A and B are shown apart, each in its own frame.
Chain A
Amino acid sequence: KNEVEQSPQNLTAQEGEFITINCSYSVGISALHWLQQHPGGGIVSLFMLSSGKKKHGRLIATINIQEKHSSLHITASHPRDSAVYICAAIYTGNQFYFGTGTSLTVIP
């Protein structure tokens, strides 16, 4: 079954904290996609990766193929990082399966 599980479901952090959001998936993915959905509903693609690690500003995404696990890290979190973070596994055959999202609130 092509499930994608995210944890935690909700996360509250103080400004400046280091944040980690986890995503687990089952076998057979071609790539994993991290998305950010703003409170207004807009969606931004953060990373798509199939191996290793990617960094963009304060955001870092890693993927461990053997463990079938990916993490999204936010360093020096800021209230503007408050959003829902969604991981999506892309399985062979171009099928996307989304996690239920992690709702992040960063308090000043």
Chain B
Amino acid sequence: NAGVMQNPRHLVRRRGQEARLRCSPMKGHSHVYWYRQLPEEGLKFMVYLQKENIIDESGMPKERFSAEFPKEGPSILRIQQVVRGDSAAYFCASSQLGLAGRIIEETQYFGPGTRLLVL
């Protein structure tokens, strides 16, 4: 059973370009979480998605960022018109059951991350 896969592992973009980050959850997992780790800073939650639904996007910047998790295919984190401040490591994680507002002690499995560098 392959783990969580993210691609690309490294992405270089110039200011103003678009960045698309992909996350394939573990087989059987229908819940995906995206996190961002800025240089020299801690992890920050961005968005929590279930298949075809955004459950919580409270950590997403209001502009330029969007996420989706279609019925088929990977979850995509899209950053439009990137700026230097978007340079960070973006991690996704997946789980089988998700949170759904309940107390649950289910492990999340993390992908290796995508390192985005904006020149």
Residues of A within 8 A of B (CB): 30-31, 33, 35, 41-45, 47-50, 86, 88, 90, 92-101
Contacts and interface: CB of A to CB of B under 8 A. Distances in A.
A94 B112 contact: no
Given A33-B108, A86-B42, A94 B93 contact: no
Contacts of A86: 42-43
B101 A96 contact: no
Contacts of B89: 41
17 contacts: A30-B99, A30-B102, A30-B103, A31-B103, A31-B104, A42-B110, A43-B91, A45-B107, A45-B109, A48-B106, A48-B107, A86-B42, A96-B35, A98-B45, A99-B42, A100-B41, A100-B42
B56 interface: yes
Interface in B78-119: 89, 91, 93, 99, 101-110, 112-113, 115
B1 interface: no
Contacts of A45: 93, 107-110
A98 B33 CA distance: 14
Interface of B: 33, 35, 41-45, 48, 55-56, 58-59, 89, 91, 93, 99, 101-110, 112-113, 115
A interface, over-half SS: strand
Given A30-B104, A41-B112, A42-B110, 13 more contacts: A30-B99, A35-B110, A41-B89, A41-B113, A45-B107, A48-B104, A93-B56, A93-B101, A94-B56, A95-B59, A96-B33, A99-B42, A101-B42
A98 B37 CA distance: 11
B113 A43 contact: yes
Contact of A96 (B45, B103, B104): B45
A90 B22 CA distance: 24
A48 B41 CA distance: 22
B105 A48 contact: yes
Contacts of A90: 99
Nearest to A95: B58
Q: Which of A30, A90, A96 has the most CB of B within 10 A?
A: A96
